[in-house]
Amino acid sequence: MPMIEVQHLTKRYRERVAVDDLTFQVEAGEILGFLGPNGAGKSTTMKILTGFLPPSEGVVRVGGYDVEAQPLEVKRRIGYLPELPPLYVEMTVRGYLRFVASLKGLSGSALKAELERVATLMGVTHVMDRVIQNLSKGYKQRVGIAQALLGSPPVLILDEPTEGLDPAQRAELRALIKGLAGQHTVILSTHILPEVTMTCQKVLIIHQGKMAAYDDISQLARLHGQAENASLEEVFIKLTAA
Amino acid sequence: MRTALAIARKELSVAFTTPWAYAVFTAMAALTAFYFTDLLRAFNDVQGVARRVGWAQMSPDFNMYRNLTDGVVVELWGSVLVITLVVTPFLSMRLFAEEKRNRTFELLMTAPVRPIEIVLGKYLGGLGVISATLALTLVFPLLLSVLGHSESGPALEWSTVLLGYGALLLWGATCMAVGLFISALTESQMLAAFLTFCVLLAWMLLGQVARRAEEPLRSALSYVACDLQLQGMIKGVLDAQSLVFFASVIGFSLFLTHRAVDAQRWA
């Protein structure tokens, strides 16, 4: 059974169609790179997968649960990093992470251990008692990712997680995400294409809400009529040229 | 329910780390102190006259000045009622509006939490802040009971004072519920505060309208006017009908808030 199953997903805002008949699935343990030009419908799709927005049509299942029928079951299984990290800037990192962990149902010593684990993983242990407002953009982003990792949910949906990080932190995060493959199913949206080539096995490219390509990275170039060694960038530009 | 408490705790910790709550506390304490000294002066003047000419010679209008409870505290609670109306919108405005502006609303809505738990958590947090604000006003009756004296027994009749304070809490809780709902409708804190203030003020003015209206409109308006509903409790008369009335308003506001939070997804 695929971990994430999307069938004929359509999202309309009045007349504007943001997502148009999208069908794909992600197997457990896979990392899917989710690409598209700005405004293609990536964030909207991710918001529907996490249950924040209802679909206009179509079905979304996560871990076998329908997002509309059993939203709590789905939300329990997803760690989500929205485009803008959802931070309470007046709180300390520790206070914030403790709050998110308690929203996810953790408490007592389990909560403490989980905080410790995630903070170490994201390298924020030395800023735990600082107020989020005063952190650099990169650290804010790390705290945002830490929040998604809390409770070790089987599915991670990360909307441009490397935004605001410097090259060294990017490389670190890429390694981290790669390390998550196997135990976690990850959907990763980004517009930095080399990042996808380095971390993902499969790529989904959408353009104006419609699916433009959906394949293994190695197959992509060949299938879309380009030289075997064409870069993802060339394929992307070809597919999304209006 | 545990998550609702977690949300309430977060609300309180954020409220007490930002200057807003303290500004409101200061305003509440300063304004109440202003009214308090004013009422004390009036009380003293009337007592002075009464000592010279005797209570029998005075108009029955001055009867409430015969003791500190009715002459000062009950009057003071009446003023605090109005101050509460003014300050609550500034406490309730951020509850949902800020979450939406900062996109943390997305975090709450994608966490494994039911919307009803979010609403209850937010409301409990709001109740905590308004209770803390109103607790400051208890200083004034305490001062009176320590420094004041009466010819017959203790200076204050505490059962009346506390029942009046209960009316204040009930009113604060109601204002907070209305503010919570309005805050759930907008991203702008300023708009939420302004609208909440307008709604509460209009509600309080209904009592004035009722006094000038004809029957049967008059009875209907005086039933829904908040200040008339509160009058009994402020004076120390427990009135089950008022309790039910305000509990219904709170319940209905929370229900509407729940609908507004749920409907956000469909916007």
Q: Which residue among A87, A102, A147 sits closest to B3, beta carbon to beta carbon?
A: A102
Q: How many domains does chain B have?
A: 1
pLDDT at A128: 95
ipTM of the shown complex: 0.90
Q: Is the pLDDT of residue A3 over 80?
A: yes
Q: Do B108 and A71 meet the contact criterion of CB atoms below 8 Å apart?
A: no
- What is the span of the domain harbouring residue B98? 2-266
pLDDT at B33: 95
- Is B2 within 8 Å of A107 when comparing Cβ atoms? yes
Please report, for residues A200, B47, B141, B153, B155, the alpha-carbon distance to residue B145 in angstroms, rounded to integers and kept in the order given. Answer: 73, 17, 6, 11, 5
Q: Is the pLDDT of residue A155 over 80?
A: yes
pLDDT digits 0-9 by tens, A32-85: 999 888 888 899 999 999 999 999 999 999 999 999 999 999 999 999 999 889
- Is A75 within 8 Å of B103 when comparing Cβ atoms? no
Mean pLDDT of the region B86-94: 94
Q: Which residues of A touch B266 (CB under 8 A)?
A: 54
Q: How many domains does chain A have?
A: 1
pLDDT at B267: 60
Mean pLDDT of the region B245-258: 96
**Residue A4 three-state SS:** strand
pLDDT at A197: 81
Check CB contact of B13 with chain A, cutoff 8 Å: yes
Q: Which residues of B touch A156 (CB under 8 A)?
A: none
- What is the span of the domain harbouring residue A52? 4-240
The phi, psi pair for A163, rounded to 5°, reads -55, 130
CATH number assigned to the domain comprising residue A95: 3.40.50.300
- Is B104 within 8 Å of A107 when comparing Cβ atoms? no
Nearest CA in chain B to A68: B265
pLDDT digits 0-9 by tens, B206-251: 888 888 888 888 888 888 888 888 888 888 888 888 899 999 999 9
- Is B14 within 8 Å of A50 when comparing Cβ atoms? no
- Is A103 within 8 Å of B113 when comparing Cβ atoms? yes
Q: Which residue among B14, B106, B111 sits closest to A88, beta carbon to beta carbon?
A: B14
Check CB contact of B116 with chain A, cutoff 8 Å: no
- Is A87 within 8 Å of B2 when comparing Cβ atoms? no
DSSP B267: -
Check CB contact of B6 with chain A, cutoff 8 Å: yes
**Which of residues B23 and B214 earns the better pLDDT score?**
B23
- Is A104 within 8 Å of B107 when comparing Cβ atoms? no
- End-to-end CA, chain B: 27
- Is B109 within 8 Å of A52 when comparing Cβ atoms? yes
- Is A95 within 8 Å of B109 when comparing Cβ atoms? no
Scanning B81-110 for CB atoms below 8 A from A yields: 102-110
Q: What is the mean pLDDT of chain B?
A: 90
- Is B109 within 8 Å of A51 when comparing Cβ atoms? yes
Mean pLDDT of the region A199-220: 84
- Is B112 within 8 Å of A103 when comparing Cβ atoms? yes
Chain A nearest CA to B65, separation (Å): 48
Check CB contact of A210 with chain B, cutoff 8 Å: no
Order across the sheet with A65-66: list the strands.
A16-26, A4-13, A57-62, A65-66
State how far the Cα of B267 lies from the Cα of B264, in Å rounded to an integer.
Answer: 5
pLDDT digits 0-9 by tens, B148-192: 877 777 778 888 899 999 999 999 999 999 999 999 999 999 999
Give the β-pairing of A210-216 and A202-207. antiparallel
Check CB contact of A233 with chain B, cutoff 8 Å: no
State how far the Cα of A101 lies from the Cα of A118, in Å rounded to an integer.
Answer: 11
When pLDDT is cut at 50, 70 and 90, the band that residue A166 belongs to is confident
Helix B189-212 vs helix B94-101: crossing angle, to nearest 10: 150
pLDDT digits 0-9 by tens, A177-196: 888 888 899 999 987 787 88
Q: CA neighbours within 13 Å on the CB side: how many for A230?
A: 18
Chain A nearest CA to B90, separation (Å): 18
Q: Which residue among B104, B112, B265 sits closest to A104, beta carbon to beta carbon?
A: B112
Mean pLDDT of the region B127-136: 95
State how far the Cα of B258 lies from the Cα of A94, in Å rounded to an integer.
Answer: 29
Mean pLDDT of the region A167-184: 84
Q: CA neighbours within 13 Å on the CB side: how many for B208?
A: 5
When pLDDT is cut at 50, 70 and 90, the band that residue A224 belongs to is low
Mean pLDDT of the region A6-19: 90
Check CB contact of A76 with chain B, cutoff 8 Å: yes
pLDDT digits 0-9 by tens, B138-159: 999 999 888 887 777 777 888 8
State how far the Cα of A145 lies from the Cα of A159, in Å rounded to an integer.
Answer: 10
Give me the percent of chain A exceeding a pLDDT of 90. Answer: 52
- Is B107 within 8 Å of A47 when comparing Cβ atoms? no
